[in-house]
Chains A and B, each alone.
Chain A
Amino acid sequence: MEAMMDAGEFRAKVERLEKNLSRVIKGKSESIRLLVTGMLAGGHALLEDVPGTGKTTLAKTLARSIDGEFRRVQFTPDLLPADITGSSFYRPQDGTFEFREGPVFCNVLLADEINRTSPRTQSALLEVMQENQVTVDGRRRDLPRPFFVVATQNPTEFHGTYPLPEAQLDRFTIRVTLGYPDHAHELEVLASQHERNPFDEISAVVSREEIIAMQERVKRVRVDAGVADYIVRLVEFTRGDARLRLGISPRGSLALYRCSQAAALLAGRDYVTPDEVRGLAFAVLAHRIVMDTKAKYGGMRNELIIEESLAKTLIPR
């Protein structure tokens, strides 16, 4: 950790990780790349798509590829905050309270179907995701490092779901959609699962320490003042827009900054160009926007706002 990892080593590790992931998830290299980018940027990822596209499988594969503690919470309507963070139990033997850690005390947390639980329980993740800590009974408890939340949600179902609160959405660094695989890749999926599930053959390819080192390495990527300015301008564009109830927060610009660094390193460069920023703008920014009701029902979409912002913001050259 002390000796800084060089770019070649970094890439080799990422390639190993991505190869591992693509053994299970076929033909989704872009989505995998985004997920890894989000993780290396030290953030959390929201996997959003219709059922059956491999959200949970991707999250599980990623968790298994990292040699760390993996926990999975199936979010159900009756889940309580304490079920996630942990709670104190009374010990009759000596009359004291003992804290039992909840599932968040891990390295990779899979929050499956996160929008099926009430906003009250969803909010239990607010502190966890931003500050990597849990406060229970007035005592602060740190989570292990690295800590990475992968949440999945299904955007098309409405019965018995609670849309994520804006503050919660904002805490997801990156939103990844998978989409259906194309014809050839779907055939490949069928073939690969003919006898056994490739998921069972997955083993850890990077250690916890390596992930931490990679996250530290990402922070060293050079960001030119012009590029930083470009990020802020993109974000600022959304703040004055009358069609939006909520623009993008500074947390959003920070996420874009960090993710761009990770993407540049993944592309084998030690500096960020506007191309990385543009490539990530949709995944990092779109889900943070809250549309005005009139604009929403007028057919406006978050992605169109980002598109407009990209089209109308001058690019540093």
Chain B
Amino acid sequence: MSEAGEKIPVAVTGMCLVAMGALYVTSKEYAGLLVMGICLLATYAVRWRLPASPLLAWAIRVVVFGAVLMTANPERRTDVGSMVFDPSYTNLFGFLCTAELVIRAWVKRRGGVAKGEMVLLSGLILTAATNANERVAVQWVRMLAPVYVVFLGLTLRAFRKRPRSWAVGWAAALLGVVGIGATSSWAVATLEGQITRWSMQFLSGKNRETSSIGLGRTATLGRSFNPYPSARRVLRMEGWPGEQHLRAMSFDQYNGGIWGPAVDQRDFATVPAEKMLGRVGREVGMTEYASAYGMLCVPLETAGMRVVGDGVEMQQDDAGDVRVPTEQMSDPMRYWFVPGKEGYQGVVAKALTAEERKWLLLVPREMAEKLGEISGQFKEGTTEEKLARIVIYLQRMHHYSLTVDPGDGDPIEAFLLKKLDGHCQYFAASVVILARMSGIPARFAAGYYAHEKESGDVTVVRERDAHAWAECWVEGKGWVTVDATPAGGRPDALFTETPAWRRWWEKGQDLVAAARAWLGERTLMQGAIMIAGLAAIPVFLRVWRGRKDRKRRVASVAYAPVSKEVAEVAKRFERVMKKRGLVCPADRTWRECFAEDERCGPFVREYNALRFGGEGSVQGLRGMVEKLEMEWKR
């Protein structure tokens, strides 16, 4: 085609190149993407464009896409869900989008460069590039994303002057919002801990050292507990409203301020799934987003449990703590439990053996001596009475404080003897020590205190809800939870507010997870049907809009017919022009399309004179068309 093509706006090219660059670092299509990038840049050097013929464009597509698909070698998958999230597939998709983009850049198009389409395609390429396996690639993509957003902003300027259509404007705006949103969410997600820490330090005016929060492999009675409460979501509990102690692990050995044994050094034995199923009842669904050493959080009264996923096994130690080997955990981990009534002894609360009983009564000798005076108050009465008195004593003598300074030496001794204020771990540990000294087997439990209602019977547990309490053995009743922490110190009183943005963010996460889970259940056949359905939408819209247009267009009724000879000459002329690659669209006149062509200009003038003015003869026109045909053949 003789006419030169328009240049692509620089911002659009920049955006496309950034997206391609992201794909470049993510995928292995180095050579292919380089060629594509060069082809895109070559549009600046060469003004020639492919003629706007759908047939030719499709032929090129068939060749290019065919070549890409033939050389691609993605891993074989059987379900749609894993295909959608498999980088080898998404990268292939991104590469196809790149090829399409380059083709669109080279094909001549009425109304200038297909900016809107290129913006959309580059967005798809970047999206495909974000799905990467390698850490380095992810970091690269994260660095490129803000650059992309900048170019996107510049591109919007190119649209401002003369919006081609509402759809393009909307698509650009949508992409802009998604891009900005993705960038900012990325920034928040990466810097979240940092931001929280900075703001905490800023607000408190102190520069405290960071100690481990949440749950550790042991429970260490430190100077502070949860000093920088993080609102990171740990658990989501569906089907059981209200406030609950969810235990993750228990400790029975006390040594100088540390409760052990460490979770990762215990012996866990695999328990058959049937055995863990326990009693059948109403199930509570749990989603675990973060886990400490694979421990599953359940109430003490759990009557039965099961985990989701094939080949995932549950393991239990002597104390009844349940875990799933971390390598078998999915992200997020899903499991179910059947809650029992208060005091119910189910799969977690194992009956006490005689040996364990002895073990759970042990108190370091020096400590026993020092604390004899205090524990002497609790020797009388039934077990329940003793425990009640211990709790009342602790709450009367101590106040809640997030920070403690127990000084050197044993922290519990210091806490109890100096009547210090402390946090939940001190209260829990004191209950265990005092109960043991009063002849009640007891252990230290660590987990979360669930209290934040998300909606209906859905409860969310966050990292800051970490808590500690005591579990005591009451003869004739079994294990019971004894939480001596003053009410004002429990997570439900400390943390009541969750920012709205975080709740929305989590809702989004849940939606993605649900979509992922749903896709994971689909077979390839169902996936193909889905894609066909999606592809049918634009076709349907096109047909529907075409019908609507035709209704609106008065011109669907043809004009009164002209004489047969004139019509025949007109048809011949159009055929000749089409062969030369010149097509005049229905909304433009021949003079507008062909006036500058010195060979067909005279014909158009003569034709108009005959057609609209009744001047001239058909023979003369026929002669002119024949001349044009001859010229074309030559």
Q: Which A residues contact B (CB, under 8 angstroms)?
A: 222, 224-227, 229-230, 233, 236-237, 240, 269-275, 278, 310-317
Contacts and interface: CB of A to CB of B under 8 A. Distances in A.
Contacts of A224: 611-613
A271 B612 contact: yes
B508 to A, nearest CB: 31
B587 A315 contact: yes
Interface stretch (B39-47, B416-424, B549-557): B549-557
A222 B612 contact: yes
B588 A317 contact: no
B166 to A, nearest CB: 9
A263 B18 CA distance: 53
Contacts of B553: 237, 312-314
Interface in B580-631: 586-592, 608-609, 611-615
A17 to B, nearest CB: 25
B560 interface: yes
A314 B554 CA distance: 8
A314 B550 CA distance: 11
Contact of A240 (B552, B587, B589, B612): B552
A237 B570 CA distance: 27
B562 A226 contact: yes
A317 B552 contact: no
Interface string B520-557: 00000000000000000000000000000100111110
A57 B177 CA distance: 51
Given A273-B591, A274-B589, A229 B613 contact: no
Most central of A227, A270, A275 by chain B CB within 10 Å: A275
B549 A312 contact: yes
Contacts of A222: 612-614
User: Sorted from nearest, which 6 A-B pairs have the closest CB atoms?
Assistant: A271-B613, A314-B555, A233-B554, A224-B612, A226-B559, A316-B559
25 contacts: A224-B613, A226-B560, A226-B611, A226-B612, A227-B612, A229-B560, A236-B554, A237-B552, A237-B553, A269-B609, A271-B614, A273-B589, A274-B589, A275-B592, A312-B552, A312-B553, A312-B555, A312-B587, A314-B553, A314-B555, A314-B587, A315-B588, A315-B589, A316-B559, A317-B570
Contacts of B560: 225-226, 229
A230 B559 CA distance: 8
Interface of B: 549, 552-556, 558-560, 562, 570, 586-592, 608-609, 611-615
Contacts of A275: 589, 591-592, 608
Given A236-B554, A312-B552, A312-B553, A317 B587 contact: no
Contacts of B590: 317
Given A225-B560, A278-B589, A269 B613 contact: yes
Contacts of B554: 233, 236-237, 313
Nearest to A312: B553
A240 B559 CA distance: 20
Contacts of A269: 609, 613
Contact of A311 (B558, B570, B587): B587
B355 to A, nearest CB: 81
Contacts of B552: 237, 240, 312
Nearest to A314: B555
Contacts of B587: 310-315
Given A225-B560, A237-B552, A314 B586 contact: yes
A315 B549 CA distance: 16
Given A229-B560, A278-B589, A273 B549 contact: no
Contacts of B614: 222, 271
Contacts of A311: 587
Given A230-B559, A273-B608, A314-B555, 18 more contacts: A222-B614, A224-B611, A224-B613, A240-B552, A270-B613, A270-B615, A271-B609, A275-B591, A278-B589, A278-B592, A312-B549, A312-B555, A313-B555, A314-B553, A315-B586, A315-B589, A316-B559, A317-B570
Nearest to A311: B587
Contacts of B615: 270-271
B456 to A, nearest CB: 40
Contacts of A229: 559-560
A155 B612 CA distance: 38
A312 B556 CA distance: 10
Contacts of A317: 570, 589-590, 611
A274 B611 CA distance: 11
Most central of B555, B562, B592, B608 by chain A CB within 10 Å: B555
A275 B549 CA distance: 24
A172 to B, nearest CB: 25
Contacts of B612: 222, 224, 226-227, 271-274
A218 B323 CA distance: 97
Contacts of A315: 586-589
Contacts of A274: 589, 612
Nearest to B574: A317
B584 to A, nearest CB: 9
A233 B558 CA distance: 11
Contacts of A240: 552
A273 B611 CA distance: 9
Nearest to B595: A275
B616 to A, nearest CB: 11
Contacts of B608: 271, 273, 275
A224 B609 CA distance: 11
A233 B589 contact: no
B229 to A, nearest CB: 48
Nearest to B609: A271
B567 to A, nearest CB: 9
A285 to B, nearest CB: 15
Contacts of A237: 552-554
Nearest to A239: B554
A310 B592 CA distance: 13
Contacts of A272: 612
Most central of B549, B588, B608, B612 by chain A CB within 10 Å: B612
Most central of A230, A236, A273, A311 by chain B CB within 10 Å: A273
Contacts of A271: 608-609, 612-615
Contacts of B609: 269, 271
A317 B587 CA distance: 11
Nearest to B163: A299
A310 B614 CA distance: 25
Nearest to A317: B570
Contacts of A227: 612
Contacts of A312: 549, 552-553, 555, 587
A292 B456 CA distance: 46
B63 to A, nearest CB: 34
Contacts of A225: 560
A274 B607 CA distance: 13
B596 to A, nearest CB: 14
